[in-house]
Amino acid sequence: MNKLVEIALGLVTGIGGFLEAGSLATSVQAGASFGFQLIWAIVLGVICIAFLVEMSGRLAAVSKHTLPDAMRERFGIRFFSVPLVVVVLVSFLVLASEIGGVSLALQLITGIRFQWWAPVVALAIWLLLWAHNFSLVEKGASLLGLVTIVFVVGALKLHTPLGEVGAHLLPSMPREDPAKYWFMAVSIIGASVSPYLFYFYSAGAVEDHWDEGHLGVNRIIAGLGMGFGGTVAVAALAGAAMVFHSRGIQIDRYEQIPLVLAEPLGHGGFILFVASLGIACFGAALEIALQIAYLIAQGFGWKWGENIRPRQAARFALVYTVAILLAGLLILTGIDPLRLTVFSMALTALSLPVTVVPLLIVMNDPEYLGDNVNHWISNAAVLFVSVIACVVALVAIPLQFLGGS
């Protein structure tokens, strides 16, 4: 019975937690610009993240190590500092994007510019973490995050041609604007394979005292949770294709995006969009702020834990405090949240090999995994997606800025 509850909670987290500023913005922008053509990028990203989440859960269950812990121990602090710096930098930008997303949701319903909401949002995130109510908030945010299923309802109400969706499950060459097409593709993959998802998952598994008896639960949560979450992202892309692409609308500002649900679902659709954006980004911001603190604390061997009072883990609390403060300040400058989000996701894709290859080495080490080391299929799938995403990002990011609008 306990296992069933764990699976249910894991699935809720997978569905409710998958869609956030990055996956929403990249899916809708891609659907508006290229119709259904980029659905394959979501599929590729979901396959990759499902494997990575499963691996990080397995590592925690078998070795009782979190990812940073195992990486520091296996490679030493000098080597570990490279992925540490990269993941912290990328996660910081993603944290700012999420704070921007919540602030934008508040702007949409109040009319007050998003940058003025950034300090309020940052303070709310910090207060919740400081008061160590995180477990309750995380589960609450995931449960409320189920509101994002409204994108599936919207896509169905728009009579999305499922044949068209199916036809684009495999990659195809762009019909126009290849630089933008590949830039969007890597941004989508980066949004799906955000390192915070699997780093955070391993920390959660260790805190929940997972053991080898959890390997089956872990597999189901990783596969189904990410699969259902990916379905919501596909629905957002399909909705954008139906509402925006058919009218020749490109998404240049966040303010355009609520129309994707207001068109099929009326006023309720608008409200549910704002709720989805606010809740999904708030939940993600909590997780990312905490993950940055986990990463640094675990990497340097400091005391850490979501249920420990700040005074007992002062350096851990200081890290998330500084991260939230700086991310809030970045949004306060008035930086365009949509551009920041899409750029952060492309950077995430670029950094994938740095974050993923050390993980794969650990996952193939019997010292940590015993008989539960990786199968060659999971090695190949993750390595393939990461390297391809990185190579394409390496070319597409500069070209997007040189040639893009």
Partner 1 sequence: MGQGRGRLLLLAITPALLTGCHSSPEKEQEKLRQELTSWDATAQLTRELTDRGALPQVYVRQVSEAVEQGKQKLQERAAKSAP
Choose, by CB under 8 A, the member of 134, 182, 200, 210 that binds partner 1.
182
CB of 275 to partner 1, least distance (A): 14
Choose, by CB under 8 A, the member of 78, 159, 267, 311 that binds partner 1.
267
CB of 249 to partner 1, least distance (A): 5
CB of 116 to partner 1, least distance (A): 14
Is residue 383 a contact residue for partner 1 (CB under 8 A)?
yes
Is residue 381 a contact residue for partner 1 (CB under 8 A)?
no
* Phi-psi map region of 177: left, alpha, beta (phi>0 left; psi -120 to 50 alpha): left
- CA 368-369-371 angle, to 5 degrees, is 140
Choose, by CB under 8 A, the member of 79, 85, 110, 375 that binds partner 1.
110
* Phi-psi map region of 211: left, alpha, beta (phi>0 left; psi -120 to 50 alpha): beta
Phi and psi angles of residue 44, each rounded to the nearest 5 degrees, phi first: -60, -45
Q: Which stretch binds partner 1 (CB under 8 A): 55-63, 206-214, 264-272, 310-318?
A: 264-272
What Cα–Cα distance (Å) separates residue 357 from each residue in 17, 269, 362, 384, 386?
A: 25, 42, 9, 11, 9
- Count the residues of the shown chain that bind partner 1, applying the rule CB under 8 A: 45
CB-based burial label for 74 (10 Å; 0-12, 13-18, 19+): middle
Q: Which of residues 74-103 bind partner 1 (CB under 8 A)?
A: none
Q: Are 106 and 112 in contact (CB under 8 A)?
A: yes
CA 144 – CA 140 distance, rounded (Å) = 6
Match 């070795």 to its residue by tokens. 63
Q: Which helix (H) or strand (E) holds 359?
A: helix 337-363
Q: Which stretch binds partner 1 (CB under 8 A): 83-91, 200-208, 256-264, 312-320?
A: 256-264
Choose, by CB under 8 A, the member of 107, 160, 187, 355 that binds partner 1.
107
Look at residue 125 and give its three-state secondary structure. helix
Is residue 349 a contact residue for partner 1 (CB under 8 A)?
no
Can you read off the two tokens belonging to residue 352?
């994938």
Choose, by CB under 8 A, the member of 66, 91, 142, 256 that binds partner 1.
256
Q: Which stretch binds partner 1 (CB under 8 A): 60-68, 78-86, 244-252, 311-319?
A: 244-252
Is residue 250 a contact residue for partner 1 (CB under 8 A)?
yes
Is residue 334 a contact residue for partner 1 (CB under 8 A)?
no
Q: Which stretch binds partner 1 (CB under 8 A): 141-149, 153-161, 248-256, 341-349?
A: 248-256
Which string of x and - marks every residue 161-180 that binds partner 1 (by CB under 8 A)? ------------xx-xxxxx
Look at residue 264 and give its three-state secondary structure. helix
Nearest to 306 by CA among 206, 225, 211: 206
Is residue 312 a contact residue for partner 1 (CB under 8 A)?
no
What Cα–Cα distance (Å) separates residue 380 from each residue in 52, 75, 218, 353, 360?
A: 12, 22, 20, 13, 10
Return the amino acid letter for 94: V
Is residue 130 a contact residue for partner 1 (CB under 8 A)?
no
Is residue 263 a contact residue for partner 1 (CB under 8 A)?
yes
Is residue 248 a contact residue for partner 1 (CB under 8 A)?
yes
Binding site for partner 1 (CB under 8 A): 107-111, 173-174, 176-182, 243, 247-250, 252-253, 255-256, 258-259, 262-263, 266-267, 269-270, 383-384, 387-388, 391-392, 394-396, 399, 402-405
